[in-house]
Chains A and B, each alone.
Chain A
Amino acid sequence: MKSGSDDTPIVGGTLHIKETGKTIATDASGFYALHLKKGIYTLLVSSLESKTENIKLEVLSDGRYDLELEPKLVALEEIIVSSEKEHIVRNNQMGYQKLVAKEVKEIPLVLGEADIVKVSLLLPGIQSVGEGSAGFNVRGSPTDQNLFIINQVPIYNTSHLFGFFSAFNSDAVKYFSLYKSNIPVNYGGRLSSIFDIKTKQGNKKNFSASGGISPVTARIMVEGPLKKEKSSYMIGVRSTYSDWLLKKVKDPDIKKSDGQFADVVTNFSFEINNNNQLELFSYHSFDRFNIVGQNKYEYANNGASLSWNHLIKERHSLQTSIVYSQYAFTEENSELKINSYKDNFELKHSEIKSVLTLRPNSKHSITAGFNSSLYMIDDGNFLPLNEESIISPIKLGQEKAIESGIFLSDEWSISPKLSLSAGARYNYYLYLGPQEVRTFVDDAPKSHENIVDTIQYANNEVVKSYSSPDFRFAARYIINDDLSVKLSYNQLKQYLFMLTNTIAVSPTDKWKLADYNIKPMLGSQYSLGIYKNVLYGKYEFSVETYYKTVDNIVEYKNGANLVVNETPEIDILQGKLKTYGVELMIKKSLGRFNGWINYTYSRAEVVVKSNNLEESINKGESYPSNYDKPNAFNVVANYKFSRRFSLSSNLVYSTGRPVTYPVGVFYQDDMELLMYSKRNEYRIPDYFRIDFSLKLEGNLMAKKFAHSTWILSVYNLTGRKNAYSVYFKSEEGKINGYRLSIFGVPIVSLTYSFKLGNYAN
């Protein structure tokens, strides 16, 4: 099934067969497969992007029937988040959201930057530690448990400007799927969620362009055919256009600072014939900052993928991809001349994967395949920055590992009411030399004193291997047309984690592989959900509950220094994370007034317990994780006055994150010092924010060269000073507490966007 206007595949389109009452959906490449007896049928074909069509069909034998749908000219019934319209009750997915770029543009965001990935923070179960911080905490889990992939390419640093914006240009993104409960077997390696981002495929018929300008960035996306109806290109570029924001500030220190970021995506697609398609994609993002001439940061992601989609016998498909991704940063610090240093890091990820989808009959959809990734990490060198520096150079070593998985799953419609999905994934992980491995005295704390031996491993020699199966299971039972129950059980493994003991993700956080001493993390999650449509699908209700555990979660000894650490295993402790919660969501997709409301109650607790006190945190007692925010409430509302004028608003509330406060004062050498509570015993004040935006579309003439849109947005309308952190200082014999907030006033911004063609294109 594809769109008649630009020949791009229609994903998640539906075919309803009147005579049998059955509904099926197209897959990620726009393919569908139907099993029908000979006879005459009426097909009702629809999708979000196109007009609904009635098609009379006479089935005589097996065959291929391509559908080309006319795009909807006027999206009067605009939908904001389409978690597969109509399917919330029928599909097998739980904890799943699909966000379509086209439809989230009204949502007000910081500095008017349309940011599809940041919109996910308004969905249930997704939080961040504070405003402008990088990373997402999905269901109370650390940020490194999320896998971000854009057209198969994993991205290891997903933010610009330290986290204020995501590193994905919304103009180039078509949609993204977010999995947080039952993660399909073809994904592995991360425990919490998969953010699977798909970019646009270039328009195969006509040249088209769109772009815009916001207070921070300028962006442009061009697309068009390489060879009409056969191949196309899409190129999206976004960049900061000046440092004017910093230069405006009178402070001389800030004038000396500068920052830049940019990202570029390209996507070329080739239709070799009806059964074979090729897609060549590349991604690049970079950030460069110079803070007061004393701290310099540069980081970049580079990646590419080549995917081949092959259709077998018109109903089975095989997708094979080769993927490469690289992430690197360098840091220069000259705050203190004698301690000035530079530090660098690089991670290279090469992967091959192949997924075969078989549809032997209408009752089964079988997915089988494998993927294998080679990780090469260079922890870099810690070097003196200049001659005055007394830092001695340290080479921090390299790591290498192969993570492979084979998988098989079957989605089985036992009856129209009951469907089951069961799958298994076998993970095989090899940690490879060259490597220097330290062994420690059994049952004693890992410390420098307890090192028994240092073993040298040769290049490609297996240092340690871990292998285990994951089982994943999901079931859906339709009680009646508008009500269903679903449950799922998921097992996952994670072999790669971020070395960080700061609360927010910082641009100098390194990734580390599971190794001889550090065990991989094991996750399992149970979820149960009830889904209901009311008033012919006008309102969608869902309630999802989950219980998730992670074994071997990585925590750090108090005060661990992770920047220069030749023996990270000594500072790493592994414990258990337990999270559970209920997510309620009401959504109205249709009409002038649409949006959603969600409420989440969730908890996240960590236990790090060992036989010795030195390797326990909080004396082995459970404590709230840094991401434990029990109550969260979000409202997203849009009102369309007319086709040209609309209004949107967000309301965001959450419990403050846990924090460790001082609970006493003591004196050492006449200095007044603070003693702290148990870890995360207190909370910073609750978070609350209202945003507001107005969107004005250009005129609605059908024949025009370009269409423009203005969006005026106000972030943090009430100017509430939400606490980012709370800290204490001893000043003149008194202890004073302070609250730091990032946005203390409403942030107003104006964004201009354009695209070639009229309003509807």
Chain B
Amino acid sequence: MRIKFKLLFIISIVFHGCIDPYSPTLSDYLNTLVVDATITNEPGPYIVKLSKSSTVYDPEFNPVSGARIVISDDLGNDETLTETEPGVYSTNFPGIQGIVGRRYSILIETEGKIYQSPFEELREPVTIDSVYPKVEYRGGLEGLQFYVDTKNVKENSKHFLWTLNETYKYEADEYPLEMVFVNKDSIYEPSYEYQELIKTCWKTDKMFQIFTSSAKNISEPQILNFPLIYVDTESKKLYIKYSLLVNQYSISEDAYRYWNEIKEQNAESGSFYTKQPFQVIGNIVNVNDPNEAIFGYFTVAGISSKRIFVDKPDLNFYFDVCKATHEAYVRWTNSDHPSYPVYLKFASGGLGKAGIGCFDCRMKGGKTNRPDFWID
């Protein structure tokens, strides 16, 4: 709602202002407890991650082990979670279950201190009406902007948090891999099955971006055309088939405040009219010392999901494709060749060489097994 980057951008260009990397010394390091916990109406197990914050320039997950974590509801049911990995605690079957209308709280006991969240109601999930893409332009290039429509917003469930998972199918640039020089004396030819196997991958990523919206100030109780992510044509994501899974959490007003602040702090960057960043306060407090800063939120939410598939859109694509290069055959058998193995294919009449990443799609982070939900 402010003149953000654009004004800055104009000023930068007109007055040759600029943005440079800059890493000031940050002497203070706030070492505090961090709770990452969610309970939903979906069957568990529910995972709670307990950690300590890390330094800014060396971020890492510092697990806190050996804590006693209890999730309880307003009917007196409770369950103590089991630590499955360091700092990761899980409920067990058939333990506590998230049920719409009940209220839940978390209790954490570690290092001799007790932390607790207030009871929060599990709100009724609201069905997502549709998720759909539209062709839009960013920086002069085409891409798909995804939107969500949620029409039947209920009085008790009007604050939303969306998280996204994307999956896309892609192929290696160069197919097939016909010859590999392991070293100058040893060659092998991969089988047809192997060539086929490493050609096609599916990659699934959790989107490290959150979206929040509330129907509180909206005239009609519905959320229409709410923009989610934008997928550009500078990557292969949309080139074959793309799928987006949208998880919609119905959350309390306080949880909405928390996630919205997290979203804003995360998005806030060097703008001309910048607000002061600040500590975002969660809902977990030290029972004996309310002044102790605890980070994180115990989110209680009704969840509904929708997955959509998008076929290759009729757009121009701008990603780089690797091309096998022709080199003298003698080089691959020469002991001077700088690195083995050398990967080869037949290309325009001769043998071409390229990096393994051009032949094996797994090198780009994908997996060759087709996900269960995938529909071609």
Please give the residue numbers on chain A whose beta carbons come within 8 Å of chain B beta carbons, in ascending order.
132, 162, 245-246, 249, 251-254, 257, 291-292, 294-295, 297, 333, 336-338, 388, 390-394, 501-504, 506-508, 558-559, 561, 563-564, 613, 619, 626, 660-677, 679-682, 685, 721, 723-730, 733-745, 747
Contacts and interface: CB of A to CB of B under 8 A. Distances in A.
A725 B19 CA distance: 10
30 contacts: A162-B7, A246-B10, A254-B10, A254-B14, A257-B10, A291-B10, A338-B225, A338-B226, A392-B217, A501-B275, A502-B273, A558-B279, A559-B275, A663-B28, A663-B29, A664-B29, A665-B55, A671-B208, A673-B266, A674-B56, A674-B277, A726-B22, A727-B268, A728-B56, A735-B59, A738-B22, A738-B269, A740-B8, A742-B15, A744-B16
Nearest to B296: A668
A667 B57 contact: no
A675 B19 contact: no
Given A291-B7, A737-B21, A739-B20, A671 B266 contact: yes
B54 A132 contact: no
A294 B10 CA distance: 13
A527 B347 CA distance: 85
Nearest to A394: B217
A503 B276 contact: yes
B257 to A, nearest CB: 8
B170 interface: no
B94 interface: no
Nearest to B276: A660
| 10 closest cross-chain pairs (CB), A and B | A739-B22, A392-B219, A664-B53, A558-B278, A665-B59, A740-B270, A502-B273, A664-B30, A666-B34, A506-B273
B290 A613 contact: yes
B328 interface: no
Given A392-B217, A660-B278, A737-B24, A291 B15 contact: no
Interface string B213-248: 000011110011111000000000000000000000
Given A338-B226, A668-B34, 17 more contacts: A291-B6, A295-B6, A333-B1, A504-B272, A559-B278, A664-B32, A664-B53, A666-B54, A667-B51, A668-B296, A671-B262, A724-B17, A740-B17, A740-B19, A740-B270, A743-B16, A744-B15
A662 B210 contact: no
A506 B72 CA distance: 48
In the complex, which of the residues B6, B10, B261, B290 has the most CB atoms of chain A within 10 Å of its own CB atom? B10
A664 B295 CA distance: 11
Interface of B: 1-3, 6-24, 26, 28-32, 34, 36, 38, 49, 51, 53-57, 59, 61, 140, 163, 206, 208, 210, 217-220, 223-227, 261-262, 264-266, 268-280, 290-291, 295-297
A601 to B, nearest CB: 23
B252 to A, nearest CB: 13
Contacts of A660: 276-278
A741 B20 contact: yes
B346 to A, nearest CB: 36
Nearest to B278: A558
A663 B10 contact: no
Contacts of B275: 501-503, 559
Contacts of A564: 217
A674 B217 CA distance: 29
Nearest to B161: A669
A730 B34 contact: no
B18 A675 contact: no
Contacts of B3: 162, 291, 295, 297, 506-507
B270 A338 contact: no
B17 A744 contact: yes
A721 B6 contact: no
B19 to A, nearest CB: 5
Contacts of A667: 34, 36, 49, 51, 61
Given A338-B225, A388-B225, A727-B270, A668 B297 contact: yes
Contacts of B277: 660, 662, 674, 676
A677 B279 CA distance: 8
Contacts of A669: 36, 38, 163, 210
A686 B56 CA distance: 22
A505 to B, nearest CB: 8
B265 A673 contact: yes
Contacts of A508: 2
Most buried by A among B13, B38, B227: B13
B295 to A, nearest CB: 5
A721 B57 CA distance: 23
A405 B264 CA distance: 44
Contacts of A619: 291
Nearest to B16: A745
Contacts of A721: 18, 20
B32 A253 contact: no
B35 to A, nearest CB: 9
Contact of A666 (B223, B261, B272, B295): B295
Nearest to A729: B269
A245 to B, nearest CB: 6
A168 B272 CA distance: 23
Contacts of B217: 391-392, 394, 564
B1 A561 contact: yes
A629 B7 CA distance: 26
A390 B224 CA distance: 7
B291 A725 contact: no
A323 B268 CA distance: 42
A252 B6 CA distance: 12
Contacts of B6: 253, 257, 291-292, 294-295
B22 A737 contact: yes
A734 B56 CA distance: 8
B14 A245 contact: yes
A162 B15 CA distance: 14
Contact of A668 (B1, B36, B270): B36
Contacts of B291: 613, 619
B115 to A, nearest CB: 15
Contacts of A392: 217-219
A663 B293 CA distance: 13
Given A727-B269, A740-B19, A664 B1 contact: no
Contacts of A735: 56-57, 59
Contacts of B57: 735
A743 B22 CA distance: 16
A382 to B, nearest CB: 9
A723 B57 CA distance: 20
B32 A675 contact: yes
B53 A675 contact: yes
A735 B163 CA distance: 22
Contacts of B34: 666-668
B274 A730 contact: no
Given A663-B56, A673-B265, A736-B21, A725 B14 contact: no
A668 B262 contact: yes
Nearest to A738: B19
A664 B10 contact: no
Contact of B22 (A295, A337, A394, A723): A723
A559 B210 contact: no
A680 B34 CA distance: 23
A744 B275 CA distance: 23
A390 B223 contact: yes
Contact of A672 (B21, B208, B290): B208
Contacts of B31: 664
Contact of B26 (A663, A680, A745): A663
B2 A132 contact: no
A677 B19 contact: no
A743 B262 CA distance: 31
A163 to B, nearest CB: 9
A611 to B, nearest CB: 13
Contacts of B226: 338
B19 A739 contact: yes
Contact of A747 (B15, B18, B225, B296): B15
Given A245-B14, A506-B2, A727-B269, A670 B274 contact: no
